Structure 1
Amino acid sequence: MKWLRRPSWFALLLTAVSALLFIRLGVWQLHRADEKEAILRRYATAETAAPRDFAAVASNPPVDAFARVDVQGEYLADRLYLLDNPKHDQRGGVEVYAPFRPRSGDRLLLVDMGFLPGNGTDQAPQLPALPTGPQQLHGLYVPAPGVGYAMGGNALTRQTHWPKTTIYLDLAQIGSDLGTALYPRVLSLDAEPSSIYVREHTIDFSAMPPARHRAYAFQWFTFAVAVVVILLVLHRRRPSRPDKP
C-alpha cells in the first residue's frame, strides 16, 4: 500500500491491544444483556408454572430457574424488616419482609410482603398487622436483593424496636438478629387485589436494562474501529509537493 507509511511496532502493538480490549468489552456487554434477558424470561415462565411443595426446593433451589411454591406455616408476630431503598415509587416507600415459620421446616423463611408506597414524608408508612394463625402462602422462591456495598456494619443489632429498617438485605444478618438460620432464598408473594402491598414478580433492571448493555457494546465496538482508523490516518502518506522554481 503505497499510500500508507509503515507504522512502528509500538504503534501496531498499541492499536492491536486497544482494539482487542474494546472488542472484549463489547462482547462482555452483549453477554450481560443476554443473561439479564434470560433472567426475565425465567421470571415470566415461573409466574405461570404450577406451584411446587416448598419442602422440595427449600434448601436446594434450582440454579437456573425460579420455583413457584406453596408453603404452610405461621408468621412470627411483630417481627418486620423494612428495606428502605427500593425505587418503585417517586414518593419513596419500603419493601416489607416478615419472618415465617414453615410447618415442616427447620428454619425460618423470609417473606417479601411487597412494596408499601410512602406518604411523601420521612416517616415510615403505616404497616398493616400480620395475619395470625396458620397461613398458606403462594409465590416465587427467589434470591434476596443484592447487598452491594454494605457500609456501616450491621445496623439491625443497634435497633431495639420493631419494625427494623435497613438499606440492604443480608439474610445472614437477619438470621443473626432473629437468633436462628434462614432459608437461602426469600418468598415473593403472589399479587392479591385486596392487599395494600404492591407486588411485582420481576427484577429491577431499570438502572441497566439489556438494551443499555447493547448500546454500550456498540460504543465499545465503535472505539475498536476508531483506533484502527486513527492508526491509518496518522500513517497516511501525504502527497509530495513539487519543487518551487
Structure 2
Amino acid sequence: MTFMRRPAWWSVLLTALGVLVFARLGVWQLHRADFKDELLRRYAAAAGAPLQPFDAVADQPPVDAYPRVRVQGHYLTDRVYLLDNPRHDSLGGVEVFVPFLPAHQQKLLLVDLGFLPGNGTDTPPQLPPLPSDAQTLEGLYQPSPGTGLEMGGNALARQTQWPKTSIYLDLHQVADDLHTALYPRMLSLDKDPSAIYLRVHTLDLSSMPPARHRAYAFQWFTFAIAAVAIFLFLHRKKRRSTSDG
C-alpha cells in the first residue's frame, strides 16, 4: 500500500523543474565561490612576483591576474581623491588616490597611496604634501575599488575644490572629472615602512566574497529539498477517519 496519492502530471513536471533549477543555481554558486578563491590565491601570489615594466601590461592587463609593475613619472599633486569607506577604517580615515602621469605617456594612471588613519572625528586627516619631482613607483596593477549605488549621482561632478571625496571611486567618473583618459586599472603601491600611509594589498570582493556564494548555494539547495518536501506533503494519502459502531 502506497502512502501517496497519484499526482497530476503537471505537478510532477513543476516539481522536477523547480528542483532542477534550484540545484543548478546552487552548483553555479559553488563554482563562483571556487573561482573567487582562485582569484584570491593569485592575488596573494602576485604580491611576491617579480617586477615588470608598466608599459608591458598598461593597456591590456592579463585577465584574472595582477601584475606587479614599476613605472616612472610625475604625480598630479593638486588632484587628490579621497575614498571615504575603506574596509579597515576604524578611526574615520580615508584611502588616498592621486593621478600619475607615466613618463612619455598621455594617459593618466590612478595611484592608490594607501589608507590615512583619522583621529576618530568627522574631520578628514591632514594630507602630507606629495613630491613634485620625478618618481619611480612599484606596486600591483589591479582593478579599481568596487562601485555601488550612489545616492544623488556622481559626487565628484558636484565638487569644485580639491581634494574631492566620494564613497565610491569609478575610473570612468575620475576620467570625466579630469577630462582625460585613464588606464583601465589602478596602481596599488607596495608597502613602505617610511610612508605615513597604511598599505594593505586586498582584492575587493566585499560585495560578494566566496563565503557568501556558498551561503547562497546552501539556500538554493534548501529550496530544492523544500520543493520535494512540499510535493510529498501535498500528495500524501489522508487517513480515513474511523468511528465506533
Mark yes or no: TM-score above 0.5.
yes
How do residues 53-68 of structure 1 correspond to structure 2 at under 5 angstroms? 53-68=53-68
CA apart distance, 1:242: 5.4
Residue type of the partner of 1:65? A
Match of 2:49 in 1: 49
Match of 1:177 in 2: 177
Q: Which deviates the most, 119-128 or 196-205?
A: 196-205
Match of 2:69 in 1: 69
- Unaligned 5+ runs, structure 2: none
Match of 1:143 in 2: 143
Pairing 1:13–2:9 present: no
Q: Which deviates the most, 84-93 or 67-76?
A: 84-93
CA apart distance, 1:233: 2.6
Q: Deviations over 1:70-94 (max 9, x none)?
A: 0011111221101112221222321
Residue type of the partner of 1:44? A
- Is the CA contact (8 Å cut-off) linking 2:25 and 2:217 kept in structure 1? yes
CA apart distance, 1:63: 1.1
TM-score relative to the length of structure 2: 0.91
Residues in 1 aligned to 2:160 and 2:89: alpha-carbon distance in whole angstroms = 28
- Is the CA contact (8 Å cut-off) linking 2:74 and 2:135 kept in structure 1? yes
Match of 1:217 in 2: 217
- Is the CA contact (8 Å cut-off) linking 2:145 and 2:204 kept in structure 1? no
Residue type of the partner of 1:187? L
- Is the CA contact (8 Å cut-off) linking 1:55 and 1:105 kept in structure 2? no
Residue type of the partner of 1:128? P
Match of 1:205 in 2: 205
RMSD: 1.9
- Is the CA contact (8 Å cut-off) linking 1:55 and 1:104 kept in structure 2? no
Structure 1 SS opposite 2:90: coil
- Unaligned 5+ runs, structure 1: none
Residues in 2 aligned to 1:170 and 1:37: alpha-carbon distance in whole angstroms = 24
Residue type of the partner of 1:139? G
Percent of residue pairs bearing the same amino acid type: 64
Q: Number of paired residues?
A: 245
CA apart distance, 1:116: 1.4
Match of 1:93 in 2: 93
CA apart distance, 1:189: 0.3
Residue type of the partner of 2:22? F
TM-score relative to the length of structure 1: 0.91
- Is the CA contact (8 Å cut-off) linking 1:72 and 1:103 kept in structure 2? yes
CA apart distance, 1:206: 4.6
CA apart distance, 1:148: 2.1
CA apart distance, 1:154: 2.8
Residue type of the partner of 1:121? T
Q: Deviations over 1:25-68 (max 9, x none)?
A: 21222122112112101111211110110011111111121111
- Is the CA contact (8 Å cut-off) linking 2:92 and 2:124 kept in structure 1? no
